[in-house]
């Protein structure tokens, strides 16, 4: 099967519930799938610019697609199976679950009634939308309504409310204002596992393989997306599938027992997966939400040996022991909020702030240590290659924790050292380190260019041979091209001065050499 056809087949299977669903009406869910074969270039010329300005967690992906589904199932005696079953699917490289699901809520009911002509008109409107620019508020007209939403930026303060950053414009008709392009109702998603938030955060931080077994694609996809958002502002660097079916082309890859389970969180609904994935180390089985008095019934942690192929009860099936102690204060505050009927968005904000502070407490010591590996600015001289960033030594980092560890900003006690050691083996550490090393390398190159601009080029050339001068011209040109192509953090004024330096140097050479260099 060709890769394009395989991708379409995967999308089709992911657009419908995998197991029998007797529920009637409309449901929404999401999926994420790997791009099949071929080149991974996107159709958007502004990918690099968008990704530089967007938070790491909201970057446009080059190797995966996100699918947003609106599924309708209603009784219809005219249909062969007795039901009308149809899905409208929006496919994007952007993880804007809130925006695209809200858009589908407007489009899908109309589409099911009026079919293709309606869809064609909507597509024409969407074609006119401006590209997403981090930090800007967009007004997106569709079907007589204007959706207003702000695109988050990398410079936003973590945990700040996007609503406070909106431009107040007098739009008529009044716009449909979305509080966020991507944030879910975290509290609603986590209701059955509130007392286990600590364990789930650790499992996600360490990139552990997790199966989420849910009664519907909606609950499955929301739980997986909620789990991956736990680590903000740290990017979750492992694979994740909010909804996965037995028909997926990667089914064999994930269910094989000949190798260890991959670092992935996979959401499923078909009970068949309990049998095929029972060798995975962690399985979160959730049912429909049940109340125990005023409070949502909490699932229990159970041993993996308790897993039954049929009729597995809700629970977290794992032998994992947490490194950190539970935060009982958070749980009490959340449970008190339920009893007082506090709005879900307030509870979500409380939960999100707790997870943000926990992640920051863990990451700040790493940030401080890696910053200390950067060469001093006075060590950067114009006519030598910039010095290297010193290597990350895990044991050296561990020694810093006694005086500058997470205990300074976090009340939680436990085996922080053990958690760091395990984290060093995870894809999340690798992804974080690569990103930070890349940023530091670019900063070094930028500082080197600034040092060159501040140097006396004429004095340097006095005792240099033509070969050395030509070599400098070629190196400076290469640096200039690299600075523009890789968008190094350098002022335009600095780049222009480097360009003038190159012209000055070339002008000092014999005419024949000038001609050669100008034609290169």
Please state, in angstroms and rounded to a whole number, the distance separating the CA atoms of residues 480 and 477.
5
* 39 pLDDT more than 90: no
pLDDT for residue 21: 57
pLDDT for residue 201: 97
pLDDT for residue 82: 76
Please state, in angstroms and rounded to a whole number, the distance separating the CA atoms of residues 28 and 15.
10
Residue 54, burial from CB neighbour count under 10 angstroms (0-12, 13-18, 19+): buried
Q: How far apart are the first and last CA of the chain?
A: 47
pLDDT for residue 38: 52
How many of the other CB atoms lie within 10 Å of CB of 411? 10
Please state, in angstroms and rounded to a whole number, the distance separating the CA atoms of residues 187 and 348.
5
Contact present, 53 and 133 (Cβ < 8 Å): yes
Closest CA to 102 of 30, 6, 196, 4: 30
Q: Where are the alpha helices (DSSP H) in 390-510?
A: 394-404, 416-423, 427-454, 457-461, 466-485, 492-507
Mean pLDDT of all residues belonging to the chain: 87
pLDDT for residue 451: 86
pLDDT bin (cut points 50, 70, 90) of residue 37 is low
* 41 pLDDT more than 80: no
Give 302's strand partners.
317
Helix or strand run (H / E) with residue 90: strand 83-92
pLDDT for residue 73: 86
SS3 239: strand
CA R_g for the chain? 27
Query: pTM, whole model, 2 decimals?
Result: 0.89
Contact present, 460 and 390 (Cβ < 8 Å): no
Contact present, 168 and 132 (Cβ < 8 Å): no
Q: What is the pLDDT averaged over residues 366-384? A: 90
SS3 417: helix
DSSP letter for 130, please: P
Tens of pLDDT along 164-194? 545 545 555 678 999 999 999 999 999 999 9
Please state, in angstroms and rounded to a whole number, the distance separating the CA atoms of residues 230 and 28.
22
What is the token pair recorded at 12?
């089709």
pLDDT for residue 2: 57
Give just the sign of the alpha carbon dihedral 302, 306, 307, 313. negative
pLDDT for residue 440: 94
Please state, in angstroms and rounded to a whole number, the distance separating the CA atoms of residues 78 and 472.
79
Contact present, 511 and 466 (Cβ < 8 Å): no
Please state, in angstroms and rounded to a whole number, the distance separating the CA atoms of residues 291 and 207.
31
Please state, in angstroms and rounded to a whole number, the distance separating the CA atoms of residues 478 and 474.
6
Please state, in angstroms and rounded to a whole number, the distance separating the CA atoms of residues 306 and 301.
10
Taking each helix axis from N to C terminus, what angle separates 466-485 and 492-507, rounded to the nearest 10 degrees?
A: 160
* 433 pLDDT more than 50: yes
Choice among 52-61, 89-98, 250-259, 344-353 with the minimum mean pLDDT = 250-259
Backbone torsion region of residue 341, taken as left when φ is above 0, otherwise alpha when ψ lies between -120 and 50, otherwise beta: left
Half-sphere exposure of 310 (CA within 13 A, CB side): 0
Closest CA to 352 of 164, 235, 226, 166: 226
Contact present, 299 and 334 (Cβ < 8 Å): no
Strands 291-292 and 295-296: antiparallel
* 364 pLDDT more than 80: yes
Choice among 50-54, 321-325, 418-422 with the minimum mean pLDDT = 50-54
Give just the sign of the alpha carbon dihedral 59, 181, 156, 424. negative
pLDDT for residue 101: 97
DSSP 146-173: EEEEEPP-TTSPTT--GGGG------SS
pLDDT for residue 511: 82
* 161 pLDDT more than 80: no
CA distances from 519 to 181, 271, 505, 515 (A): 49, 68, 15, 6
* Sheet containing 25-34, strands listed edge to edge, beginning at the edge strand earlier in sequence: 25-34, 64-75, 83-92
Closest CA to 426 of 234, 226, 244: 234
Q: What percent of the chain has pLDDT over 70?
A: 92
Strands 25-34 and 145-150: unpaired
* Tokens 């496919």 -> residue: 91
Please state, in angstroms and rounded to a whole number, the distance separating the CA atoms of residues 361 and 412.
10
Choice among 219-228, 311-320, 420-429 with the minimum mean pLDDT = 311-320
Half-sphere exposure of 367 (CA within 13 A, CB side): 10
Contact present, 464 and 473 (Cβ < 8 Å): no
């Amino acid at each position: 099967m060709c890769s394009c056809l395989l991708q379409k087949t995967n999308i089709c299977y992911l657009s419908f519930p995998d197991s029998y669903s007797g529920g009637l009406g409309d449901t929404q869910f999401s999926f994420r799938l790997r791009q099949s074969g071929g080149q991974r270039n996107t159709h958007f010329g502004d990918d690099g610019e968008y990704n530089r300005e967007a938070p790491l967690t909201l970057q446009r992906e080059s190797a995966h697609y996100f699918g947003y589904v609106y599924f309708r199932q209603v009784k219809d005696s005219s249909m062969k199976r007795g039901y009308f079953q149809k899905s409208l699917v929006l496919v994007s490289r952007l993880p804007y679950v809130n925006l695209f699901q809200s858009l589908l809520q407007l489009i899908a009911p109309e589409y099911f009634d009026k079919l293709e002509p309606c869809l064609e008109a909507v597509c024409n409107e969407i074609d006119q939308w401006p590209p997403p620019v981090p930090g800007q508020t967009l007004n997106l007209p569709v079907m007589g309504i204007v959706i207003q939403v702000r695109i988050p930026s990398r410079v936003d303060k973590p945990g700040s409310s996007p609503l406070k950053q909106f431009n107040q414009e007098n739009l008529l008709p009044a716009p449909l204002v979305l509080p966020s392009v991507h944030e879910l109702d975290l509290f609603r998603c986590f209701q059955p596992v509130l007392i286990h938030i600590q364990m789930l955060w650790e499992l996600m931080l360490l990139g552990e393989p997790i199966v989420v077994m849910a009664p519907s694609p909606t609950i499955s996809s929301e739980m997986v997306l909620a789990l991956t958002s736990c680590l903000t502002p740290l990017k979750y660097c492992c694979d994740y599938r909010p909804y996965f079916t037995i028909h997926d082309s990667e089914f064999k890859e994930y269910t094989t027992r000949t190798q260890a389970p991959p670092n992935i969180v996979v959401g499923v609904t078909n009970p068949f997966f309990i049998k095929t994935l029972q060798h995975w180390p962690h399985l979160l089985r959730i049912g429909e939400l049940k109340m125990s008095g005023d409070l949502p019934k909490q699932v229990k942690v159970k041993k993996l040996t308790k897993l039954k192929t049929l009729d597995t009860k809700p629970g977290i099936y794992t032998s994992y022991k947490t490194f950190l102690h539970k935060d009982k204060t958070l749980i009490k505050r959340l449970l008190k909020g339920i009893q007082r009927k506090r709005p879900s968005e307030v509870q979500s904000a409380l939960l999100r702030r707790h997870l943000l502070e926990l992640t920051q407490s863990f990451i700040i010591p790493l940030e401080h240590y890696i910053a200390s590996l950067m060469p001093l600015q006075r060590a950067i001289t114009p006519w030598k290659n910039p010095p290297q960033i010193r290597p990350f030594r895990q044991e050296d980092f561990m020694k810093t924790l006694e005086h500058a560890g997470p205990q300074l900003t976090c009340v939680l006690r436990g085996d922080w050292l053990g958690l760091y050691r395990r984290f060093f083996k995870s894809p999340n550490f690798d992804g974080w380190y690569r990103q930070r090393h890349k940023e530091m390398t670019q900063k070094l190159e930028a500082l080197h260019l600034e040092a060159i601009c501040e140097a006396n080029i004429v004095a340097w050339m006095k005792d240099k041979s033509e070969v050395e001068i030509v070599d400098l011209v070629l190196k400076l040109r290469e640096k200039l091209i690299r600075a523009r192509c890789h968008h190094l953090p350098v002022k335009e004024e600095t780049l222009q001065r480097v360009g003038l330096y190159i012209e000055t140097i070339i002008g000092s050479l014999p005419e024949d050499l000038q001609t050669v260099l100008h034609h290169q």
